[in-house]
Amino acid sequence: MSENENIKNYDLRKSIERLLWRFSKDENEKTKSFYPNTNDLKALQNITTWIGRQKSETITNNQLFAKLYLYHFTDLMRKYDAIAFDVIIEKELSSLLDRPLESFFKAFYNDLITRQFETNNIRRLEKGLMPIDEDEFKANYPYEVAKTQMLNVITEALNRLS
């Protein structure tokens, strides 16, 4: 963490402590009544500035995620003929993002095998050859190989686009 970040975090901590102190209860467990002063307003401004900076930095540091999120969000708006920020879209996206990464690899592999298997057998039939068995096809293109290749594609995209 840089010195500048330490100062910002220190200012944030001091600002929060100040407001917590101002809103604390007295010895009779009653909330103190007070008029906000310049220090109180400065503390609140520090907190809102920090929140704004965090939001901005989060998007800046996660451009690829933001792009894909917006792309899929737009697709779901079309799918459900919904307006922006419809609950169904947010629920579906949250459900999708809650899933473990491994489940996406498995879905990718299953789809890949189905499409490749069908395409390969259509080509074989067109050439007058016998179609091959799905298990034989999977043995020639195992899950770990497909996953490793997809991880390489993802890593290359991240390196190129980040």
Q: Where are the domains of the chain?
A: 1-61, 64-98, 101-161
pLDDT average, residue stretch 20-37: 78
Take residue 96 and report the two structure tokens written for it: 């999708």
Residue 154's pLDDT band (boundaries 50, 70, 90)? very high
31 φ, ψ (degrees, to nearest 5) = -70, 135
Enter the tokens of residue 69: 């999120």
Is the pLDDT at 10 greater than 80? The verdict is no
Q: Which amino acid is at 149?
A: Q
For residues 59 and 109, the model is more confident at 109
Which amino acid, 156?
A: E
CA atoms within 13 A on the CB side of 74: 6
Q: Got the DSSP string for 56-98? A: HHHHHHTHHHHHHHHHHHHHHHHHHT--TT-HHHHHHHHHHHH
Confidence check: pLDDT of 7 > 50: no
Q: What percent of the chain has pLDDT over 70?
A: 94
pLDDT tens by residue, 63-91: 889 999 999 999 999 999 988 788 999 99
| Residue partners of 86: CB distance under 8 A and separation at least 6 | 77, 80
Look-up of token digits 């007070």: 34
